Each structure stands twice: as C-alpha cells, then as structure tokens.
C-alpha cells in the first residue's frame, strides 16, 4: 500500500474546525442567554433603575400639549385654564400619576388605550377640576388631564381619535375624562349612548346663583370691560325678566338639562355630586363617587388638607410630610359684590327648577 502524506495532514484541520464550531455555538448560546436575561429582568429591578433615570412620558405630555392648544369654553367662547388642566399650582402628574405602575405596565406590555367607561359631564364652575384631581389619586383610575371636548366639538374626528387621547390603562383600571360643557349640549347624550350605553356619568352641581356669579367672575378676569352682572342677568330689570339665553344663567337650570340625559340613560347611571360638600367634606363625597364607580375606597380623609387662605381642600399623600398641592390661582377668585336684590330675584327664578331637580334626583341639595 502506498503512503500518502495528504491523508494524514487533513485530520488536524478537521479537528480544529470541529472545536471552532463547538466554541462558536457556545458563544452564540451565551449571547442568547444574556439577551434573554435582560428582557426578563424582574420589574422591581427595572423600576429601581428607572427611578434614577425616569423615562419621559412622551405620549401623555404630547397629548396634553395638543389639547391645551384647543379653544376651551363652548358657551362663552373663551379660553379656560381649567379645561387645559392648569388648575393646580404644581405638576399634577407628580401628585396623581402612579409612575411605578406606569413603568411596570410599559415593561410588560399590559397597558392599552380604552374609551372612557366613566365621564364627568358637568357642570362648569361646579367643582369638576377638583373632583377629577381627587379621583386621579385612586390607583385604579387613569384620566386625561385636559378636556377632550370630543362629544361637543370634535365628534366628526371619530372614536379612534378620541381613544388616542386617553391614557394607557392596565387590566382592571378605569379610564375617565371630564368636559363640563357636555351636560348642557343637547347632542351629547345620544352621542355618548352610541359609544356605550353603559357609560357612568358624573355631574358636579352647586347653588346655581353662586355658580352663575363664579362663571361671571371668571369671564371678567379675562375681559374686564364686560357689562355688570346685573345688566347681563336681566333682559328687562324693571319687568324682572331674566335673560335665560345668557350661559351663566342657563347652565344652572339643571332640571331642564337633565331631562335630555334621561332620554338615553337611566338615573342609576348618573351620580350628582354636591360642589359644596366637595369642599366641606371631600372625603365623604369621594366615598360616594368611589362606590358609584365600583371601586374600593382608596381616597380618604388622609388625602386632604384644608387651606383656609384658598377656601379649598388641598391634596396630600397619606405617607410622608410632602407639601400639599392646592388649586392654582385660577380657582377661588374673589366674587364681586352683587346687589342683594338681584341675588334674591335669581334665587326666586331658580326655585322651581331646583325643586324639580330635587325630585328628579331624589336629593335635596339645600340651595333654597
């Protein structure tokens, strides 16, 4: 048999190639394992890292910035800081947005945008901003800060546009929004019903005379040259003829507006919150709201601190000694002095509307 050196020289090359393939396979496997470990890092570790370098909530801020650019007051055709979500002195997101749950949800991909299951539909100058911020303290509620005005101004843009304005929520969380002009806009009840007949509706109401004066005060702060409250209230003051076309007067005729809503929704799906009690007993009124929404009672007296200077309750966290967050300078304005005779005439005007409203809701708000 003839000897061939080529036969023997190829064997070491094959061995080296075999070892190289094994090493390459092990290296790829280790790289895969490392990548898999990073993706499955426990949430609490990621949250600790994010607390040092918190991510910018782009979607939330960008949407609120967009909404702030829209015109706000349907009935008075004026810009309203409250509708922009600007009614608090400090960054509301720092107080009410649960960053931990937001980070965890974003990491595990469990958050989605939903159409609101509950809406604060009114009324303007009733205390809707305060109620919304109180509700945003609840871990099971996510709400858009600015007023979307979808059902009264932007309805032609469609439900998907509306959905995109909503914050992302996890399973079991409730999506909410508030737009006070909904309650007095006749097309809105049918439109909300078309979206979902099961929508829960919340209306914050207060003494219609006080509400009208507050409404006027807000307008005058932006337009100091407007006529007096007295001259706007009456078509003919001598004949005692109230001008019901003026929005400040019209909004307070609650019974008339409620009739439109009861054509589409049963009374069991509407909750009427007392604006007066929301100030004097915020925890008690919040207990009613949480029960109505089917939520456990999380927002209690521990979350409130009354500020005598402002005349409003401020928000605080139950734990720690952090500074309470109060309503901003656009809230709690000093009302002008109104002729007592004009106030009495307005009270007499509203009495039959109030009486009917009490009967319809089964609750005496004590305004008369």
Burial level of 305, CB count in 10 A (0-12/13-18/19+)?
middle
Neighbouring residues of 114: CB distance < 8 A, sequence distance ≥ 6: 163, 166, 169, 175
Q: Is 127 annotated as a binding residue?
A: yes
Tell me, yes or no, whether 303 lies in a domain: yes
Tell me, yes or no, whether 3 lies in a domain: no
Domain hosting residue 184, numbered range: 60-206+270-334
For 220, the 3-state DSSP assignment is helix
Domains of the chain: total: 1
Tell me, yes or no, whether 213 lies in a domain: no
Q: Is 84 annotated as a binding residue?
A: no
Helical segments of 265-318, H only:
275-280, 282-292
Torsion of CA 344, 345, 346, 351, to 10 degrees: 90
Tell me, yes or no, whether 7 lies in a domain: no
Q: What is the pLDDT of residue 14?
A: 66
Q: What is the pLDDT of residue 31?
A: 64
Give one word for 266, left, alpha or beta, with left for phi > 0 and alpha for psi -120 to 50: beta
Tell me, yes or no, whether 23 lies in a domain: no
Q: Is 93 annotated as a binding residue?
A: no
Q: What is the pLDDT of residue 325?
A: 74
Tell me, yes or no, whether 285 lies in a domain: yes
d(CA 257, CA 252): 9
Question: ∠129-147-155 over CA atoms, to 5°?
Answer: 145
Tell me, yes or no, whether 55 lies in a domain: no
Q: Is 85 annotated as a binding residue?
A: no
Q: For residues 48 and 126, is the Cβ–Cβ distance under 8 A?
A: no
Q: For residues 316 and 325, is the Cβ–Cβ distance under 8 A?
A: yes
Q: 162-190 b/e with 16+ CB inside 10 Å = b?
A: beebbbbbbeebbbbbbbbbbbbbeebbe
What is the DSSP secondary-structure string of 320-366?
S-PPPB-B-TTSSPPPPP--HHHHHHHHHHHHHHHHHHHHHHT----
pTM above 0.75, yes or no: no
Q: For residues 158 and 122, is the Cβ–Cβ distance under 8 A?
A: no
Q: Is 335 annotated as a binding residue?
A: yes
The catalytic residue among 84, 92, 124, 125 is 125
The CATH number linked to 193 is 3.40.50.300
The tens-digit pLDDT sequence of the chain (368 residues) is 444 444 445 566 667 777 777 777 777 666 655 544 443 333 333 333 344 444 444 444 444 444 433 333 323 333 455 566 544 433 333 333 343 333 334 445 589 999 999 999 999 999 999 999 999 999 999 999 899 999 999 999 999 999 999 999 999 999 999 999 999 999 999 999 999 999 999 999 999 999 999 999 999 999 999 999 999 999 998 899 999 999 999 999 999 999 999 999 999 999 999 999 999 999 999 999 999 999 999 999 999 988 877 777 888 876 665 667 776 555 556 888 999 999 999 999 999 999 999 999 999 999 98
Tell me, yes or no, whether 261 lies in a domain: no
Token pair listed for 142:
């996510």
User: Would residue 200 show up in a list of annotated catalytic residues for this protein?
Assistant: no
Strand partners, 242: 234
Q: Is 256 annotated as a binding residue?
A: no
Q: Is 222 annotated as a binding residue?
A: no
Q: Is 125 annotated as a binding residue?
A: yes
Q: Is 275 annotated as a binding residue?
A: no
Q: How many helices (H) and strands (E) does the chain have?
A: 16, 11
Q: How far is CA 176 from CA 162, 163, 288, in A?
A: 12, 11, 17
């Amino acid at each position: 048999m003839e000897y061939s050196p080529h036969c023997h020289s190829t064997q070491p090359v094959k061995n080296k190639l075999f070892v190289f393939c094994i090493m390459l396979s092990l290296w790829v496997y280790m790289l895969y394992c490392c990548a898999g470990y990073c993706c499955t890092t426990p949430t609490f570790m990621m949250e600790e890292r994010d607390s040092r370098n918190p991510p910018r909530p782009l979607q939330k801020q960008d949407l609120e910035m967009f909404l702030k650019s829209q015109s706000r007051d349907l009935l008075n055709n004026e810009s309203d800081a409250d509708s922009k979500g600007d009614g608090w002195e400090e960054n509301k997101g720092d107080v009410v947005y649960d960053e931990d749950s937001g980070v965890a949800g974003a990491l595990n991909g469990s958050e989605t945008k939903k159409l609101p299951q509950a809406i604060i539909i009114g009324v303007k100058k009733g205390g809707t901003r305060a109620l919304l911020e109180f509700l945003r303290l609840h871990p099971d509620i996510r709400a858009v800060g600015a007023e979307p005005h979808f059902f009264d101004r932007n309805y032609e843009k469609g439900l998907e546009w509306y959905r995109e304005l909503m914050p992302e929520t996890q399973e079991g969380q409730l999506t909410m929004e508030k737009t006070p002009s909904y309650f007095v806009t006749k097309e809105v009840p049918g439109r909300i019903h078309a979206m979902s007949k099961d929508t829960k509706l919340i209306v914050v109401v207060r003494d219609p005379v006080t509400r009208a004066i507050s409404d006027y005060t807000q307008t005058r702060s932006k337009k100091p040259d407007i006529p007096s409250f007295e001259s706007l209230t009456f078509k003919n003051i001598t004949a005692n003829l109230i001008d019901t076309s003026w929005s400040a007067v019209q909004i307070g005729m609650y019974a008339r507006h409620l009739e439109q809503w009861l054509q589409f929704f049963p009374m069991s799906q509407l909750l009427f919150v007392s604006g007066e009690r929301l100030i004097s007993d915020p925890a008690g009124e919040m207990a009613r709201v949480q029960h109505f929404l089917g939520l456990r009672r999380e927002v209690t007296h521990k979350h409130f601190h009354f500020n005598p200077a402002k005349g409003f309750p401020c928000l605080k966290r139950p734990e720690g000694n952090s500074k309470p967050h109060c309503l901003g300078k656009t809230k709690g304005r000093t009302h002008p002095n109104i002729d007592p005779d004009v106030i009495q005439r307005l009270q007499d005007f509203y009495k039959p509307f109030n009486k009917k409203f009490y009967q319809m809701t089964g609750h005496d708000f004590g305004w008369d």
